[in-house]
Chain A
Amino acid sequence: MSNTIAQKKGFGATLWDYLTTVDHKKIAIMYLIGGGFFFILGGLEALAIRWQLIVPENDFVSAGFYNEILTMHGTTMIFLAAMPLIFALMNAVLPLQIGARDVAFPFLNSLGFWLFLFGGILLNCSWFLGGAPDAGWTAYAPLSTTSPGHGVDFYILGLQISGAGTLMGGINFLVTVINMRAPGMTYMRMPLFTWASFVTSALILFAFPALTVGLFLLMFDRLFGSVFFDANYGGNSVIWEHLFWIFGHPEVYILILPAFGVFSDVFSTFAKKRLFGYTAMVFATVLIGFLGFMVWAHHMFTVGLGPAANSIFAVATMAIAVPTGIKIFNWLFTLWGGSIRINSAMLWALGFIPSFTIGGMTGVMLAAAAADYQFHDTYFVVAHFHYVIVGGVVFGIFSGLHYWWPKMFGKILDEKLGKITFWTFFVGFHLTFFIQHFLGLMGMPRRYWVYLEDQGLDLGNSISTVGAFFMGVGALVFLYNVIYTSVKGEKVGGDPWDGRTLEWSIPSPPPHYNFAQAPLVRGLDPLWIEKTEGRKGMTPAEPLDDIHMPNNTILPFVMSVGLFIAGFGFIYQAEYTGGFIAMFVGMGITLGAMFTRSVKDDLGHHIHKEDLDKGAGM
């Protein structure tokens, strides 16, 4: 729909439409573009890392610059690529899956996106302003508090701003799921993707405040002379590690759970079977989310917490393997006895199973504290978390994009290109990371700018670099596929996959208001139920009536610009008067926009039922 409007409205009007939109579907597209951009950026950084390590004692980049690249690779990929891409899928699909017309707080949704984008841009401005952060994505104090220049300041302010956006997104989806489900859509009838997103949102709610607090303490240490992490004055750097990982560990579940949700929906759809053990799957998801908060210290086995703490966290971490195993076996048994169609979306899901199982295996191995003394901070860990984050999250994002692309854009991504993408990326991925397990135990710590000659690390590193470039080619083919499909792809109907859930019961792309009438949900896989009973679509739960929709607004954009300016202000306030002014001007803009939002009544608008037929075709 956006395309047809674009043609009518011209470029300026389209831009304005996107700057002001509160429509979850358009916000999803913006998250996709923003996250995709940062994914490419983070990928280029990854290639730079691998190129530096292709031969021993290479000098492709300098030592200090290498640390900037590795820091930005991790930070960008986690906060600015994986998170927004997950949010893109959640925004695009979650309201549709529960039969809602939008999210609970459309204004907040838009604000969350703009905060993420401006936070990410602020962070990346550091490249051009004296150097990027160089203390690792974990920013361990005192390295982060003593790092010269402004790099780490950009890290703090950039993440603080984009983190606020993420927190808002999490709260928004929580309320959406609790309040906005269509009649009959009980909790235990929600698709697994919705369930996973729901649990993820709860994790965001509890995990991000720890990051916020940690970043504030770090900010005060760096910018205002406090000593929270300075041992010389009685501060304690280990506290940062705790705060970071109390956030950081749930963060990996925040990323992986929605990917699990994607796979559940994809397996079920393309095996033409109801998800095996739905209840167990839901409880496993909740349990993983819960346990995710109990295990942060497994990142700190070598910090010196003592054998009691190490043992407790070791066992708690191993326990997560149980619900994860439950999920793997339920997926396999969803496929068992099914009628499996293999297309690009399904390929990513099938590729996920062995890849993620390996990542899970090494996860249990890492959980064994006494063994972790060897693994910790080596390439074994690098291999492990890339197996779960790439093999789990990135595969999930690719699978989800192939699966829901027709819903988002009305066109199916080209299958042939999709398969080329998968195979190059999949082979490249294993080539890159499998060997790194061994490199780690052979004596290669992570975050090493160079490794020395004659230490037996040469061949493994060269293989790894070759693999990385395969992954790069795969990503490029996907990008080409997106362009190719948008130009050449053919329009498809609302339900190209013979889908089972509510999003497939409406046109592709869906109309502005999603559902002309709220659908009546009669069980798990509601559309499938209607189809097996011979109906074409959902039975409406309400008569056709006027639809109340929120108005577009530029205020979220303005608020985010204000914080962006204030971010620069905070960073430079100690050195320049201009920084001081920017701090107040920026905060003034944001507070002014908030004030405007508070006092100005915005009751939204109605789409009259007489006008509905034209757009929807329902």
Chain B
Amino acid sequence: MKGWMGKVRALFLLSILSLILSGCGVENLSAFLPKGYGAEVSLDIIFISLAVMIFVFIIVMVIYTIVLVKYRQKKGQEDFVPKQTEGNHILEIVWTVIPIILLIVIAVPTIAATYDLADETDKGDSLNINVTGNQYWWHFNYSEEEIQTSQDMYIPVGQKVYLNMMSSDVLHSFWVPAISGKMDTNPENENTMYIEAYEEGVYWGKCAELCGPSHSLMDFKIVVVSQEEFDQWVSDMQNLDAEATPETASAQEGQALFEQSCLQCHAIGSNPVAIGPNLTNFGDRSKLAGVEDLTHDMLVEWILDPESIKPGNKMTGNYDVPSKDEAEKIADYLLQLKPSEITPESASE
């Protein structure tokens, strides 16, 4: 049995080693490095349950090892017939009652945390954001502030923010591992969850419910800023002139093209139309389409062939593909849409 245990040990060491090499994941993404209330509560429960379970595992493995070392058939004892024990009542009671106690140790904090995370008592006094999951992008509607934005959600640090979530098509799931656990967006009912971020920064969000080919590309960000910065962002977004004339000639032409061809689906400003992502602060976005770097070339490529970046997206086939030249101009226009000084870049500094 030496070889057996040796291999298990080697495997275990290898796993630990690989874990150390890769750390606990990337900051602002990993659930191991919580930077928000929900993530912290969940991680506490994870560690409580893990501790209890490791205790159980050790007991099982100790008995297992003793059994395998001590009771293997020895050479020359092939005819040995062990005592045919039927069972043992005391032992049965022990390994029924102790696990029940251990489970209570896990269950009590679990229930407390579950109720805690579902609390909605101060919903009316807090910032509310209506979140809509779409194939394959996210829309954020600050209904009271009358601000619409997509893909990057701005919230103030240290504040409870209530998210009222729905889907416009299939099921999605809103997950920002470093800040909080996930909640599904359903097409038929609104789900509410609150989040509270502890530190300023830009956090990775992911869709966690299979929603089609580009499920894995449906990333978004939560941009956590200070209360003052948030207030400024809100006022910038509220006071922007959606029809302001851009500076460069190319962007001006792009604006005309955009208003002619794109405005049916993509709103700029506080118009709640959200067939496609709202592009009000497109120039400030952390990423293009959630996953690509926000560059002029990439944007042109997207306008010409979104399918190559997000397979199965709803834009493909539903618009008149512009010429390369037109696409360049539209890109110029979109990239200069920077209504606020408060950006993902400023937040991550």
* Interface residues of A, Cβ cutoff 8 Å to B: 62-64, 66-67, 134-136, 140, 142-143, 146, 231-232, 235-238, 271-274, 276-280, 302-304, 306-307, 310-311, 314-315, 318-319, 321-322, 325-326, 328-330, 332-333, 335-342, 350, 353-354, 357-358, 361-362, 364-365, 367-378, 423, 426-427, 430-431, 434-435, 438, 441-443, 445-452, 454-460, 463, 532
Contact = CB atoms under 8 A, between A and B. Distances in A.
A340 B186 contact: no
B46 to A, nearest CB: 5
Nearest to A323: B96
B217 interface: yes
Contacts of B31: 374, 441-443
A318 B114 contact: no
Q: Could you say which of B18, B23, B39, B66 has the most chain A C-beta atoms within 10 Å of its C-beta?
A: B18
Contacts of A431: 11, 14
Interface stretch (B104-112, B230-238, B269-277): B104-112
Given A278-B86, A447-B215, A350 B68 contact: yes
Nearest to B310: A63
A311 B92 contact: no
Given A63-B312, A140-B209, A353 B216 contact: no
Contacts of A457: 25
Interface stretch (B174-182, B250-258, B298-306): B174-182
13 contacts: A63-B214, A135-B210, A136-B210, A143-B210, A274-B85, A315-B107, A328-B60, A336-B67, A364-B49, A370-B181, A443-B26, A449-B216, A455-B26
Given A314-B114, A377-B173, A277 B25 contact: no
B101 to A, nearest CB: 11
Given A63-B214, A370-B114, A304 B61 contact: no
A330 B38 CA distance: 39
B81 interface: yes
A334 to B, nearest CB: 9
Interface string B1-43: 1001001100100110011011111100111100000110111
B53 interface: yes
Nearest to B206: A445
A450 B298 CA distance: 19
Contacts of B115: 307, 311
Contacts of A232: 187
Interface string B57-82: 10011011011100111000100111
B322 interface: no
Nearest to A277: B87
A503 B171 CA distance: 50
A450 B217 contact: yes
Chain A interface helix/strand/loop/mixed = helix
A397 to B, nearest CB: 21
A617 B186 CA distance: 66
B103 A142 contact: no
Contacts of A446: 208
Contact of B103 (A135, A278, A322, A373): A322
A532 to B, nearest CB: 8
A445 B25 contact: no
A314 B107 contact: yes
Contact of A456 (B26, B88, B207, B208): B26
Interface of B: 1, 4, 7-8, 11, 14-15, 18-19, 21-26, 29-32, 38-39, 41-43, 45-46, 49-50, 52-54, 56-57, 60-61, 63-64, 66-68, 71-73, 77, 80-88, 91-92, 95-96, 99-100, 103, 106-107, 110-111, 113-118, 169-171, 173, 175, 177-178, 180-184, 186-189, 191-192, 204, 206-217, 219, 291, 311-312
Given A307-B114, A369-B110, A427-B11, A442 B171 contact: no
A269 to B, nearest CB: 12
A62 B29 CA distance: 26
A142 B171 contact: yes
A358 B15 CA distance: 14
Contacts of B213: 62-64, 66-67, 134, 449
Given A314-B111, A370-B114, A455-B29, A430 B87 contact: no
Given A142-B170, A361-B56, A448-B216, A304 B189 contact: yes
Given A67-B210, A340-B67, A374 B53 contact: no
B187 A142 contact: yes
B56 A325 contact: yes
A272 B63 contact: no
A322 B42 contact: no
A458 B64 CA distance: 35
A376 B182 contact: yes
Q: What are the 3 A-B residue pairs with the smallest beta carbon separation, nearest first?
A: A373-B181, A442-B25, A370-B113
Given A273-B82, A342-B1, A370-B113, 18 more contacts: A146-B169, A231-B187, A237-B187, A306-B118, A314-B107, A325-B95, A354-B8, A357-B57, A365-B50, A368-B106, A371-B110, A374-B31, A442-B22, A442-B25, A442-B26, A445-B175, A447-B215, A460-B18
